[in-house]
Every structure is written in structure tokens, then in C-alpha cells.
Structure 1
Amino acid sequence: MSVWALGLNHTTAPLDLRGRFAFALDQIAPTLHSLRSSFAGNSSHPQVEAAIISTCNRTEIYCASEHIALDHTFGWLAQSGGVAPALLRSHAYTLHDDEAARHAFRVASGLDSMVLGEAQILGQMKDAVRAAETAGALGSTLNQLFQRSFAVAKEVRTATEIGAHSISMAAAAVRLAGQLFEDLRKTRVLFVGAGEMIDLAATHFAAKEPKAIAIANRTLERGEKLASRFGGEAMRLADLPARLAEFDIVISCTASTLPIIGLGAVERALKARKHRPMFMVDLAVPRDIEPEVKALEDIYLYTVDDLAQVVQQGQANRQAAVAQAEVIIDAGVQSFMHWLGQRGTVPLIQQLNAQADEWRAAEMARARKLLAKGESIDAVLEAMSRGLTQKMMHGAMAELHSGDAASREQTAQTLSRLFLRKER
């Protein structure tokens, strides 16, 4: 059994290209079905396990099958994103077996994140695994890979200080907003969306006690639920253009496939604000805010990639923790590869068990016939035990007396190791 991974992330691909391959959680199941169906016509890959991890910083496909099929996976992903395979290859990375396992363990542990040591990715990976399992795309190999990655991540966070100095995207946004506005308590903050990232951002900004907080969401009920936690108001997404001018700070992160805050709406908001500055953060992939907005005067727009420099500050303080984490990950990789190697003997073990069951059934049937004829129990047990041992030893004895001297010597050593082991 082989494992392979294909992905692109914040270090290999620009935001807009990553946006082409972003899959919302409710899209994972049909997307996995499409991927696995694409393998159906290939006799070398009749049963392919698959999982997709898609966040604002990465999209990664993990697969497991008897044979690696990276080219096929590349072609399918390029087609799904509507880009040329050559363009995808120039921004993607491929990994297999121990490299794929090490990468999964590093991602789960927060070592491959834009925010070194951040914990959010672990939850996102768990969501992705649950989605793959629900879709029926997860088999024993990938299940082992991900369960071990979660265990390694837990050990890394317990045994090291990898996340002790982590600066989240939300905290970075607050820091940048504080550089623009002298007193955040005088600002009005609008959050667009009601997902996990917005929840985190709202928590950070609420700690600064802004003048007002509002949540704009497609589903008003969900927006109201989040807004009530921070003493804010909820509004419908459709009302956003008309009310945009009211807010000094706008943080957006939805699952929309198209921008929901356009250039025209922001221009009208600036005019109504008499060009008082607006601080905007687009945490969505694909973008929620049209990129042309960045060029407007009095607009300070940051994307997830723009926040990279801020969140990387203090990374040097965590290098010792990273070294400790890598040791834990190496041990995890070795353990997984040992397990994966043992998986290759499973068919043989199954055949041996089936053969043993067949011999046992035959001797049991023979013993019952002898008992029915009135043979003594001792005689029947003796015959049954002798029959079983003869069946078990027949193949070994035949091999021992066949072939040339060298092969017989090798057979003798193997048989000694298998049958003449002394109990310790």
C-alpha cells in the first residue's frame, strides 16, 4: 500500500490561485466522489482512499492505494480548478509514503502554518477527516495516517512550547488596526460571516472594547447568535452595501466563491465617510473583497498573505521548540511506516489463516466420523493431532528436500527460525 499527497499552500502559490482550489466543508463529499470516480476506469487503482484538507492557506489531497498515481491526481485537480496542469505543477508540491506522513504530521502540529504553532489547523484537519469518513472515502490506511497525525500533534503541544508565542491571524489584525486607529474603543467594527475565523476575530476585537460590533451574515439567525455573545447587532448580508459607511473596521471571511464587497460599494462608503480611513481584512480564500479596493485612498486592505510578516514576528524564539517537535514527528513517521510495511503481509496472513481453518475443519470432520464408528476418544485425539501436524509440516518438509544445496541451506535456516524457537 502506498500513500501520496498533492498540495499547494501559502508558501508555494499566490492567494488567487489558491482560491481556485478552495473547497468549503460541504463541498468535500461531492469533490471526493468526483476524485474517486475518476480512478474508477483505471484497473491499477480500483479502490483509492482519499481526503481533502482545504483552508485559507492550503489545499491538500491525500490518497492511498496499491500504486501511486500522482499524474492522474494532478490532472484531476488541474481540471477541477480550471487551470493548465503546467501552471498547477509550478506552484504545487508532491509527496509520497514517509514524506507524505511527515508532512501530515507537521501540518497537524502547526509547523507548516503561516502562524508557526497555531492550533486552528488541527481542528480543520479533524473536520476534513470526518467529512472524508462520512463520504465513505477513508480507508484503514488514511485513517491510521490521520489518527497518528493527531496523536503526534497532541504530543508536540504537550511536550514543547511550539504554540507559546503564537500570534493568530485575528491577533495580527488587531495589532494592525491599532497602528491605524489611535484608540480602538472609538471604532465601529463589522464582521462579515459567522464561521470559526470570524468568531476568533470577533473575540480578539471585543477584548479592545470597540464602540460597536456588528455581524453581517447570509443567515440572520446564525449572525444573531454570534452577535449576542459580544453585545453586538446582526444584519443581513444584503444590507451590507447600504451600511458599509458606518464602520471603521471590516473583517470578512465567508465561504462565498465570488467577492461580496465590491469596488463600487467601498467607493460609495468612502464618499459617505468623507474619506475617513477604513481598515479592511479579507481572511477568505477565494477573496471576499475585490482586490481593486486596495488601490483606493484611505483604504487599508490586508489579505491572509499580507498578514504573513506580522504573524512571523517572534519566530526565532520558537526554533528550539521546533527542533523538539521534529524529533517527535520523526518518531511518529517511523512508527507509521513500520505499520504501513506490515500491511503488505496482510493478504499472506489471511491466506495462512484460511488454510489453517481448512485443515482444522477437515480433521474435525474426520474425528467426528471416527467417533461415530465407536473409536475411543484417545485414539481419535491422537489421529486428529497427527493429521494436523502432518498437514502443517508437509510443505516445509517438501521444500527442505528440494532444490540445490544453497536453497536447502536457506530453507533449513528459515525453518529453524520458524519452528525451533526456544521459549524465553
Structure 2
Amino acid sequence: MLVCLTAHQRSTPFDSLERLSTVGDDLAGRLSNVHESVRGAVVLATCNRFEAYFDISDDPDLASPLPAMDAAMEAIADAADMPFRALRENVDFAHGNQVAHHLFSVASGLDSVAVGEDEIAGQVRRALESARESGRTTAPLEHLFQRATETSRTVKNTTRLGESGRSLVRLAVDLVTPRLDDWARARVLLVGTGRYAAAALAALRAVGAEDIRVHSRSGRKKFANREHLVHVSVDDYAAEAAAADVIVTCTATADTYALEAFSHAEARAGGTAPQIIIDLGLPRNVDPEVALLPGIDLLDLETIRLHAPVDEAVTVGQAREIVEAAAQRHAAARRVHEVSPSVVELRHFVQGILDEELARVRRRGDSAQVESALRHFSGVMMHQLIARGHTLASQGHGTAWADAVRTILPAQAADAVGDEGERP
């Protein structure tokens, strides 16, 4: 059984999301071990959501996923240093094929602040890769995330969402553009050199920003050199931050603020020159009290979310239709997979009868045509039976077909299959 636990910008307070953003990259490994019924876990954490996807055992003795989910939430709450009840009240759950529909919507950008955003598909892909590298995925989780990536690609290639190049950082840049006279003359300081810094840089260049300087809190110069930007050292950072017209922060360093109110006020020497600060960090990169300084206009993720525009209904509707169809196909494929053990049993049973008949044919010295005819007949019969089983399974009647197979087969036929795990 697939289960999803999700906290996102629409239903979860920003402070809670901020705490969840600090849980660390090793959380998927911890969640995989919180309960005996958890077979695997994938964690997807972005700047406006935290999600954990679980593969829960279908063992009848462990029928309810609730104990596993309670254990998972306790582990998450502990990692985020927040009360269990606060987490429980601000997360949503999905199970069964609702999980596929939700993840496909997320990967396609339909559940983002900037609907259709570019970055989320890559984040979904990297979440799977991270869990895979640590050995925390299972076949159902692999299939789920792979289909999510395929669905997002289909949405991007067949709807106008793929034409817009949307992202949270571009939405933020669009929000502040009316407040600037000319991006080409603006002095911009980019704080951060990670994956999101590249998206921020692309958005800034797209609106015409030219004077862009970059500061890495860890002192790395690789990003600045690769992008031909002016690198701002630790010693020069305060002065550069004070002189910038626009500051964009997107660093993952969570121990201290990248911009403190007191030190920034001191660096500005009491000045009131207009300055726009875009804080894309989660946790926050900028001390909220910076917004109280004269001349400062601070936009954080919560502010950006509140100003997100409503996208075209037709385009979003087309994307949702694609997601819905993909989720239905995924459900059908899952149902077909569930009859695999019975398919294996049937194949072994028919193959056993065929082998016995072929042995008799050879002992009698019959012609090769007789053996060929027997093989052809058994193959056609198996194809018809399995095709019927797959069709019924895709329609939700796979259990009845599997029960029928087990009813007509001798008990020893099922026992002979053992634990080989053959797939149809």
C-alpha cells in the first residue's frame, strides 16, 4: 500500500514549514525503520512543501497503516523539533491511487505557488535518486516516481504550462519589477550558490539584470567563476549588501541568518535608500526584523505565496486532465501487477502439463510437428487466460480472477512456485 504524508503552503503555517525544512537529508532512512510495516520511504522537501511517501506492507496482520504513520510523524516531529500534535494537525494524508494523483499533480507543477513551475520536476526526480542511493526505495515507489516524471514531461510538452518557464523565483522577480526603474541599472547581490541560485540567476538575467554579484557563505567561488559574476568575499559582504539595490537570498545554510537586522542597519549607516530584498530561503535567510528598517522592502516566501496570480483555467484544466488519465493508468497497472502471483501459478501448472505431454510424444516417436502443435496450443491458451486476467484486473476485478485460478489449480501447483518471484 502506498501512503503519502504532506504539508504544503496552502494548509500548513509558514513557521511549521520552516521547521520541517531543517529535518536533514537522512530522514528517509530513519522513516524506513520507524515501523515493521514500512518497506520503503521517499522524502520530497522543497521551499513550499514537505512530503513523505511510504510503501506499507499489505500483510493482513498489519492491515492498518495508522500505527506506521503515527510512528513516522513522531520521527518527523522529533527531527523538526516541533510538537507531535502541531504536526498532526497540519498534514494531509493520501493512500492508494490518491497518492499517484497527488504526486503527479505535484511533479507537473499544479500544486505549486507558481503553477507550472519548472524546478519541481527536478526536485521530484532527485528525491527518488536520493532514496535509491540509500537503498530506501521499493518497486512500487520506483514505479510511482518514474510515472510522475513521465506525467510532468507530458504536461510540459502538451500544454501552455510548458511554454511559460514558470518558477517561484521568476514570480518573485515579476512582483518586484514594477518597483524598479530599470533592471539593467540595478545593482544586484545574489546570496547562495546552490541549485536554486542557478534558477535565480536565470530569472534575473531574463528581466535584464546585468550588474549581478554573488556571495557564498561557505566562500566557494566556483559558481561565480562559471557564470562570470563578481565574487563577493566574506570581508566585503556587509558593504555589498548595504550598497545593493536588490538582494536575492537562496542559501541552504540554516544556522544563522544570511542578513541580520542589526548588522545590516549598521552597514547602511542609518541610510534610507530604497532596497528590495527577496528571501527565497526555507528556513528564512533574512531576519524578519530587516523589514522594519527604513527603505527596506522585504519579500519572503509567505509574501510571495499570497501574491501568486491565478493561472488560466483552460491551461490548468488541460494539465489536470492529463494528470487524471495518468493516475488512472497507474492504478490499472498496479491492479494488473497484483495478479502476478496467480499468473505465475498458472504458468507453472500449464508448463508442467506441457512438459509431461512432450515427454510422451518423444517416447512414442511422434513427429516434430506434433511437439510444435502442442507448444503452440499451450501458448495460445496461456495468452488468452492471462490477457483475460489482466483485463479484469485493470477493471478492478483481478481478485476474482486470481481466486478462480487458485480454485481450479491443484494445491501442489501453487506450492511448486515457491518464492521464485517470476513476473508475467
Which TM-score band (shorter chain)? 0.7 to 0.9
Residue matched to 2:28: 32
Runs of 5+ unmatched residues, structure 2: 59-64, 379-399, 410-424
Residue matched to 2:328: 334
Contact 1:19–1:285 (Cα < 8 Å) also in 2: yes
Q: Which amino acid aligns with 2:220?
A: L
Structure 1 residues 339 and 167, CA, compared in 2 at 3 Å: closer, same or farther? Answer: closer
Matched, 1:281 2:278: yes
Q: Secondary structure at 2:303's aligned position in 1?
A: coil
How many Å separate the matches in 2 of 1:243 and 1:117? 34
Residue matched to 1:407: none
TM-score, normalisation: structure 2: 0.77
Q: Which moved more, 1:116-125 or 1:232-241?
A: 232-241
How many Å separate the matches in 2 of 1:355 and 1:121? 47
Residue matched to 2:415: none
Residue matched to 2:258: 260
Q: Residues 170-206 of structure 1: CA distance to partner in whole angstroms, max 9, x if unpaired?
A: 3333334333332333321100011232222222323
Contact 2:155–2:319 (Cα < 8 Å) also in 1: yes
Contact 2:116–2:167 (Cα < 8 Å) also in 1: no
Cα displacement (A) at 1:34: 1.0
Cα displacement (A) at 1:270: 2.3
Structure 1 residues 104 and 23, CA, compared in 2 at 3 Å: closer, same or farther? Answer: farther
Matched, 1:249 2:252: no
Q: Secondary structure at 1:50's aligned position in 2?
A: strand
Runs of 5+ unmatched residues, structure 1: 390-409, 420-424
Matched, 1:321 2:319: no
Contact 2:113–2:168 (Cα < 8 Å) also in 1: no
Matched, 1:345 2:334: no
Q: Which amino acid aligns with 1:193?
A: G
Q: Secondary structure at 1:37's aligned position in 2?
A: coil
Q: Residues 4-62 of structure 1: CA distance to partner in whole angstroms, max 9, x if unpaired?
A: 100111111232211211268xx43x2211111222xx2xx1x5121111110111111
Runs of 4+ in 1 over 4 A off after TM superposition: 163-167, 207-211, 351-364
Residue matched to 2:287: 290
Q: Residues 363-408 of structure 1: CA distance to partner in whole angstroms, max 9, x if unpaired?
A: 88x87xx99xxx65449x99xx9xxx9xxxxxxxxxxxxxxxxxxx
Q: Residues 336-361 of structure 1: CA distance to partner in whole angstroms, max 9, x if unpaired?
A: 11122233223333444555667777
How many Å separate the matches in 2 of 1:276 and 1:333? 52
How many Å separate the matches in 2 of 1:275 and 1:215? 23
Residue matched to 1:225: 225
Cα displacement (A) at 1:80: 1.8
Contact 1:23–1:54 (Cα < 8 Å) also in 2: no
Q: Which amino acid aligns with 2:289?
A: E
How many Å separate the matches in 1 of 2:227 and 2:266? 26
Structure 1 residues 298 and 130, CA, compared in 2 at 3 Å: closer, same or farther? Answer: same
Q: Secondary structure at 1:5's aligned position in 2?
A: strand
Contact 1:220–1:235 (Cα < 8 Å) also in 2: no
Structure 1 residues 16 and 227, CA, compared in 2 at 3 Å: closer, same or farther? Answer: farther
Q: Which amino acid aligns with 1:269?
A: A
Residue matched to 1:110: 109
Residue matched to 2:215: 216
Structure 1 residues 321 and 185, CA, compared in 2 at 3 Å: closer, same or farther? Answer: closer
Cα displacement (A) at 1:147: 1.5
Residue matched to 2:171: 172
Q: Residues 279-327 of structure 1: CA distance to partner in whole angstroms, max 9, x if unpaired?
A: 1111011111112212222111111221124431xx25x1012222222
Q: Residues 148-186 of structure 1: CA distance to partner in whole angstroms, max 9, x if unpaired?
A: 112222222222223445653333333343333323333
Corresponding residue to 1:54 among 45, 52, 57: 45
Structure 1 residues 310 and 163, CA, compared in 2 at 3 Å: closer, same or farther? Answer: farther
Residue matched to 1:75: 74
Corresponding residue pairs, total? 370
Contact 2:55–2:141 (Cα < 8 Å) also in 1: yes
How many Å separate the matches in 2 of 1:211 and 1:221? 19
Q: Residues 226-276 of structure 1: CA distance to partner in whole angstroms, max 9, x if unpaired?
A: 441xxx30123564235322212110001112322212221112216x221
Q: Which structure has the greater CA radius of gyration?
A: 1
Contact 1:220–1:236 (Cα < 8 Å) also in 2: no
How many Å separate the matches in 2 of 1:175 and 1:376? 84
Contact 2:232–2:240 (Cα < 8 Å) also in 1: no
